[in-house]
Amino acid sequence: MLEKAIFLLFAVPTVVAGVAILLSKNIVRMAFWLIAMLIAVGGLYFLMGAYFLGVIQIMVYVGGVAVLLVFGVMLTSRQLAPKLRPGPMETVWLAAVSMALLLGLVLSVAQVRWVQGPIASPNSPAEIGHSVMGDFLGPFELASVLLLVAMLGAAYLARPKVPVQSPEGSKETTI
Amino acid sequence: MDMMPYAFITAWLLPLAGFVLLVFRGRKIGEPRSGYLAAGLMITAAAISLVGATRWVFFGHPASVEVSTAWLRLGTQAIHFGVRIDSLTIVMFTMVTVVASCIFIYSIGYMHGDPRFPRFFTYLSLFAFSMLGLVLSDSLLGLFIFWELVGLCSYFLIGFWYEKPAAANAAKKAFIVNRVGDCLFLVGIAIMLGATGAVTLTGVFSEVRQGAFAGHETLLTLAGICLFFGAVGKSAQFPLHVWLPDAMEGPTPVSALIHAATMVAAGVYLVGRVFPILTPTALLFIAYIGGITLIGSALIAVVMTDIKRVLAYSTISQLGYMILALGVGGWVAGLFHLITHACFKALLFLGSGSVIHGCHGEQDIRKMGRLHDKMPITSWTFLVATAAIAGVPFFSGFYSKDAILASALGFSWTHRTHGLLFILPALAAGLTAFYMLRLYLLTFRTTARDEHVYAHAHESPRLMWVPLAVLAVLSIGIGWGRMPEHQAGDEAHAAGSRGWGLVSLIAEAQPAWTVSGDAGTHGSEAASHVASAASEASHAADAAHGFHLPATIVATCAMLLGVFMAWLVYKLLLNKFYFDELYRVTFVAGVLKLAAFGQWFDRVILDGLADGSARWVARTAFFSGLTLDNRGVDGLVNGVARTALAGGNLARLGQTGRVRNYLLALATGGALVVILLVWMS
Amino acid sequence: MENHWLLTGIIFLPLLGMGAVLVVPRTWIRWTALGFALVTFLLSLALVPQFRGAPADVFGPAYQDGFKLVDRLPWIHSAGFAIDYFVGVDGLGFPLVLLTTLICLLACIASWNIEKSPRGYFGLFLLLETGMLGVFSALDFFLFYVFWELTLLPMYFLIGIWGGPRREYAAIKFFLYTLLGSVLMLIAMLWFYFASNHEGSHTFNLIALSTPGVLPAFATHKTMWIVCFVLLYIGFAVKIPVFPFHTWLPDAHVEAPTPISMILAGLLLKMGGYGLLRISYPILPNAAAVGAVAWTLGILGVINIIYGALCALAQTDFKKLVAYSSISHMGFVLLGIALLTPAGFQGAMFQMIAHGITSAAMFFLVGVIYDRVHHRDIVRLGGLAGQMPVYTGLAILGFFAAMGLPGLCGFIGEIYVLLGSWQATVLGPVGAKVLTVIAATGVILTAGYILWSIQRVFLGAPKPEYAGVPEISRREIGIMVPLGTLAVALGVLPWQTVLVFVHGTLDNILRLMIYNR
Amino acid sequence: MMGPMPYVILSVLLLVLGLAIVISKRNAIVMLIGVEFILNAAALNLVAFSRHGAGDLSGQTAALFVIVIASAEAVVALAIFLNFYHRIATVDIDRGDQLRG
């Protein structure tokens, strides 16, 4: 019963956050709703005994990604004048598709006859570390490379374009 | 006799040699020499044909000689290219070569100084070759080929002075109007070939005689009329005569040679050649066409003021006579008139050319007058020709016209419903005398109405008047002769009373068997009124014997009346300048009204019809060529392309390049898949 | 069958020439191309002796026996397909091969003043020649199809690169039309292949396919042969071109450079008529003899004649006028073929050759004017007879030959078709006659547009703006002389020059028709 | 004892909401927010199944990777959007419908 209550405690805010973002027009508020959702999901991880994951969720997402997003918002919010809204037809269509998808997925989920497996016990970060360095070594290495590439790529892409005087001196080129 | 055809073939090929020489070397050969070359070859051809004709006449001859060589196979039918020589061929060939020789010589003088002098003789030579080929040809296909070739030469020669838009237009008109006739001619050949499997005249005749058309007499009639329409075009018969007056834009020797003496007579020759297969109905049709033509154009000739146009309408009228004669069965009379007419009409044209030449290009007879003083030889020869065409006794035209009238009278006598076929030519005989004398008087007598023209007029050089003299002699004497007494083709009486002269020579070639004659005697066709009527008419030549005297009397009276009227006008209007106005208030008012009507009809209705149909064709062409093809057919095609393009654009609507739209589509697809899965499970 | 290398040599010599053109120094390109075209022409003259002799020996007792200089090599024999390199000529292919080599030679001379990348031009030109020669001699349907498509590509580039202002449009249009046609042809081809049973296997062999019994399914299914006939017909009708598939032609002609127009009108259009006679009729003799088919083809032929002539009458672009006249003239080919008479077949074949000569001549003549005055507007032309007398003489010869003047080649084709179709019985007693009469009126219209254009271009007072126009050059006369000579020779001696080589084959094809059995 | 059902349902909700956000918002940054929703839905599923089904840590590890990839994605996407913004001076994603700059 308690579990259900705690689940609802976290689940309701995630959904509310989503709906709020959908309806909201203020981009800064949307960012904060996102943070709320991320924290709630982190709470759910705790509820499921995935403590490490919950911590990571809050640290990386809320501390990193969400802040990054807020920075993005700040950086690009010089012109807020035009309200960027989809057309009415598009909205209706989107609503219909969303409802259909929701209905379909929920129905299909409802049809599943769940087989209860053993409940995994709460685990320690050490076990996660073993798992990552053991079974998931390949993906781990790939992920690290990906992160490196993403960092370099982001640095390259976000770099301001400065006209560079070529050594010959005559031609103006941009790199 | 074996050499006979080859002699004629040689004579035929001589102008071709001239043509080939001149076409490649014409400009090198230069002005006088190219003329002498062409004329020399033509005279040689004339000499050969005269020798041949002499031999033919005086040393006995078979009915006909044919030489042919395999030419091609049309499907499964072998087509030979051959020549056929009988008395008619001899007569025509000789006439063409002699008249052409005269005109070639004359042209050397007339075309003197023209920048395209060699070109002129190139075309003339080609024309002579084609015309002689037409005369010699033994098959319908051969006739058609040369028929087209003479049309081509006519095109070139009418348009010889192509810088003048009128000349270029007239040339085009002549060719296209002729093509209308030729198209039907071709259909006629197709009918004949389809039904008989033959194109040679003898082959066609024998097949028809053996019943190739048994049960299909209507088709035979149609074939005859189709073939006749070739002649309608070429011989300028109503309603396809509109090109001939315009064709006077060509140089005058061309008018004389092509549009008076030879080419326009080719239609008559054709009808004469295919005469045996013409059914009574077809003949009647032909006769009426001839009748309408001869009276209509004679009326118009009365009011024409251009010397060449008067002669042009007179030519149409005389050709109408010939056609009418053939239509009423007067085969000999029609072809006889063809020959005499060729001589005197060539003379008239050459005379008019001499006048135009002497008057420095002036063609309006209202500006002439008293030219007799200045050019006596032209005047005298012109008078001879006028007498001949008017039908003054002892001149050639008298005999031939008399023969025609006799045939027509004979026909009308037996078929009273067709009395018009005699009345029309009789009336026209008077009109002919009138307008010709009017022409002569206005040109050579009365007063000099234009001092300038009169003062500068001069007699033509000898090169031009010698041919006039030769033709004048022919115009008088060519008609002398007597018909053989026996019936045509009746060998039993052949020994009876032999005729002599041109007419008898022509009579020898008269076809012995004709469909129309056959239809009457065998009654294979339902003995309709027309059929039986015209069947007897095919023997009108025989019947005509009895009608010669009354016809002569009528013709002479008509002629005298015409002459008297012309003289009256001349007397009344002597020294008067405004003769045309006085004309109208005097006795000829009615005739003139009629003539004016005729001219109006000719110019407005018929020409309008021709022009109108041309305009209609042009409009159709512009519609189909520009609107229909570009908007319709091409538009349809482009429409398909445009539809495809529109479809593409429609598809492109989805392809916005916007990530969100793609995602929406993706979500839609996902939703559909999920629902489908749920549905199915 | 023994292998003859002569025909193969003729077909592929231009291809070799293309290779040579691609490597020789720039200044030699023209001479190299000309040399190869000339040698090809001379080699093709060596075909003539094969067709001399008694008709029975030359043409054989049946259509299938009449092929000479057969060369056959296995080509693609895998994946269950049996495709041969199989060429040979009979009375149908031989004159067209000869015409191809001749017109290509003349067009090569006419291309002398092509300045824009001549290497590519002459390379594609020679490739085109190989393609056409292949079409006219292939005896394997697959090979035929390959060559057929092979002509398409060079033509597309020759129009699209060396053409006039709207060349891209014209080239695309040409390409799409022809492609549409050939796709339909492809369907029919595969249909034939899988329906055929020749000695126990499927076959593309055109000779085998035309043998009765090789297409067992087709013997009984009327719908099947009608559908196949229609598929093939559209493929060929686009090339002829038959109304309403003709609209690519005026555009293509107007934009194509002069020599390419000569080839397009003189040769490429013949591929359509040739295809009908080589493929549609021998393989589907039953379909051709169906009254409805004959009616349709005959009426379309007549429409082509009249409609083409009317359209020609309306044009002010000289080249477009000639293009429409081609449509009108090719109508005679279709009419002659449609009505299944010996004379009609001969006329159609003759008309193809004659039109090859006259249309090449006419397009060349138009090109000569265009080179000098840089426009083709008939209305603005005029009075050229005074300035260019020799040219005018040659032009009038060419135009009158096209008009069907007796003594020149156009006449024979037309009169054969008209006289032949009059005797046709396939349309009932009156039908053919009605068509003939209507077609005969086309002769008047032809005279109309030819004479009118002659009048507007050559006659009339000389115009001052064309005062300095140079007379036709010696090279150009050199092109016109063979064409003019042939126009006269074919017109005077049609049998000895053309028909003697073809009549047996045509009769044999006609004999294949159920209708004539 | 709750089964995985509520988590899965929640994850479905989050997915649909995320999708709706991505599609409906024209602001590029907000689209990223939607993407985070979707990724979190996936990670939630992984963790839930890891707890209730497989009984081992692979689900959690996978969720860890999801977080890592999500952060990398966020970085790169933001960099791209900033670039986009510099070029066209807007964050309207609909303006980016050309395959060239």
**Interval B248-288: pLDDT, tens:** 888 888 888 888 888 888 889 999 888 888 888 888 889 99
Rounded Cα distance between B456 and A83, Å, is 101
With a CB cutoff of 8 Å and minimum separation 6, the contacts of C21 are: C29, C32, C33, C36, C119, C122, C123, C126
**Virtual torsion, Cα B108, B110, B116, B118, nearest 10 deg:** -10
Of B657, B659, B667, which has the smallest distance from its Cβ to D98's Cβ? B657
Chain B nearest CA to C444, separation (Å): 6
Q: Do C406 and B634 touch (CB under 8 A)?
A: no
D92, β-bridge pairs = D27
**Residue pair B370/B445 in contact by the 8 Å Cβ criterion:** yes
**Residue B228, CA distances (Å) to B71, B235, B279, B287, C257 in order:** 26, 10, 12, 11, 47
| Residue C205 DSSP label | B
Of A78-87, B379-388, C168-177, C214-223, least confident by mean pLDDT is A78-87
Looking at per-residue pLDDT, the higher value among D20 and C287 belongs to: D20
- Residues of D with CB below 8 A from A109's CB? 5, 8-9, 12
Of the ranges B24-33, B38-47, B455-464, which is most confident? B38-47
Closest by Cα among A9, B667, A105, B674 to D9 = A105
Rounded Cα distance between A120 and A130, Å, is 16
B489, β-bridge pairs = none
Q: Look-up: residue for tokens 């085969």?
A: B331
pLDDT surpasses 90 at C7: no
pLDDT bucket at D84, cuts 50 / 70 / 90: confident
pLDDT bucket at B519, cuts 50 / 70 / 90: very low
Do C and A have ≥3 inter-chain CB pairs under 8 A? no
Interior CA angle at C72 toward C70 and C73, to 5°? 160
Which parts of chain A have pLDDT scores under 50?
A: 81, 164-166, 168-175
**Residue pair B232/B82 in contact by the 8 Å Cβ criterion:** no
Of B634-638, C352-356, C450-454, least confident by mean pLDDT is B634-638
Asked, for residue C88, whether it belongs to a domain, the answer is no
ipTM (interface predicted TM): 0.67
- Residues of D with CB below 8 A from A102's CB? 12-13, 16
Q: What pLDDT is stored for residue D38 in this prediction?
A: 92
Q: What pLDDT is stored for residue C88 in this prediction?
A: 87
One-letter-per-residue 3-state SS of C225-260:
HHHHHHHHHHHHHHHCCCCCCCCHHHHHHHHCCHHH
Rounded Cα distance between B197 and B78, Å, is 9
For residue B433, with 0-12 CB atoms within 10 Å meaning exposed, 13-18 middle and 19 or more buried, which class applies?
buried
Interior CA angle at C154 toward C182 and C281, to 5°? 30
The CA-to-CA distance between both ends of chain B, in Å, stands at 110
Of D19, D94, D99, which has the smallest distance from its Cβ to B667's Cβ? D19
Q: Indicate the pTM of the whole model.
A: 0.76
Please provide residue C501's backbone torsions phi and psi, each rounded to the nearest 5 degrees: -85, -15
Cβ atoms within 10 Å of B299's Cβ, excluding its own: 26
Q: Do C243 and B72 touch (CB under 8 A)?
A: no
**Residue C441, CA distances (Å) to B161, B233, B361, B620, C305 in order:** 29, 15, 39, 14, 9
Chain D: residues touching B (Cβ < 8 Å): 19, 22-24, 26, 31, 93-94, 96-99
The verdict on whether omega for the bond into residue C241 sits within 30 degrees of 0, i.e. cis, is yes
With a CB cutoff of 8 Å and minimum separation 6, the contacts of B62 are: B1
Closest by Cα among C301, C393, C312 to C351 = C301
Cβ atoms within 10 Å of C255's Cβ, excluding its own: 24
Chain B nearest CA to C137, separation (Å): 25
Domains parsed from chain A with CATH numbers? 1-77 (1.20.120.1200)
Closest by Cα among C351, C335, C421 to B191 = C421
With a CB cutoff of 8 Å and minimum separation 6, the contacts of B411 are: B287, B328, B329, B330, B418, B421, B422, B537, B540, B543
| Residue B18 DSSP label | H
Q: What pLDDT is stored for residue C355 in this prediction?
A: 92
pLDDT surpasses 90 at B22: no
Three-state DSSP at B71 gives: strand
pLDDT bucket at D41, cuts 50 / 70 / 90: very high
Q: What pLDDT is stored for residue C351 in this prediction?
A: 92
- Residues of B with CB below 8 A from C400's CB? 152
Q: What pLDDT is stored for residue A175 in this prediction?
A: 43
Query: Which subunits sit against B, judged by 3+ Cβ pairs under 8 A?
Result: A, C, D
**What is the count of structural domains for chain C?**
1
Q: Do A108 and B671 touch (CB under 8 A)?
A: no
pLDDT bucket at C251, cuts 50 / 70 / 90: confident
- As a whole number, mean pLDDT of residues B23-34 equals 82
Q: What is the largest CA-CA distance in chain B?
A: 124
- Residues of D with CB below 8 A from B663's CB? 19, 22-23
pLDDT surpasses 70 at B598: no
Q: Name the H helices within C111-166.
A: 118-137, 141-162
- As a whole number, mean pLDDT of residues C479-484 equals 90
Secondary structure (DSSP) of B324-345: HHHHTT-HHHHHHHHHHHHHHH
pLDDT bucket at B602, cuts 50 / 70 / 90: low
Of the ranges A60-64, B141-145, B235-239, B438-442, which is most confident? B141-145
Task: Give tens-digit pLDDT for B139-195.
Answer: 888 889 899 888 888 888 888 888 888 888 888 888 888 888 888 998 998 888 888
- Residues of D with CB below 8 A from B654's CB? none
**Virtual torsion, Cα C463, C468, C469, C471, nearest 10 deg:** 120
pLDDT surpasses 60 at C438: yes
Asked, for residue C278, whether it belongs to a domain, the answer is no
Asked, for residue C493, whether it belongs to a domain, the answer is yes
* Residue C456 belongs to domain spanning: 298-517
Q: What pLDDT is stored for residue B590 in this prediction?
A: 62
Rounded Cα distance between C17 and B677, Å, is 64
C280 token code pair: 């549609």
Chain D nearest CA to A168, separation (Å): 27
Q: Does B169 touch chain C (CB under 8 A)?
A: yes
Asked, for residue C364, whether it belongs to a domain, the answer is yes
Q: What pLDDT is stored for residue B526 in this prediction?
A: 36
Contacts of C145-154 spanning 24+ positions with Cβ under 8 A: C145/C182, C145/C185, C145/C186, C145/C189, C148/C182, C148/C185, C148/C271, C149/C182, C151/C268, C151/C271, C152/C178, C152/C179, C152/C182, C153/C127, C154/C124, C154/C125, C154/C127, C154/C128
Residues C403-422: b if buried by 16+ CB within 10 A, e if exposed: bbbbbbbbbbbbbbbbbbbb
pLDDT surpasses 50 at C30: yes
Asked, for residue C444, whether it belongs to a domain, the answer is yes
Rounded Cα distance between B467 and B487, Å, is 38
Element of type H or E holding B629: none
Of B668, B670, B678, which has the smallest distance from its Cβ to A108's Cβ? B678
Residues C90-121: b if buried by 16+ CB within 10 A, e if exposed: bbbbbbbbbbbbbbbbbbbbbbeebeeebebb
pLDDT surpasses 60 at B529: no
Closest by Cα among C270, C204, C283, C194 to C239 = C270
Q: Do B658 and D93 touch (CB under 8 A)?
A: yes
Q: Does B448 touch chain C (CB under 8 A)?
A: no
What letter represents residue B228's amino acid? F
| Residue B364 DSSP label | B
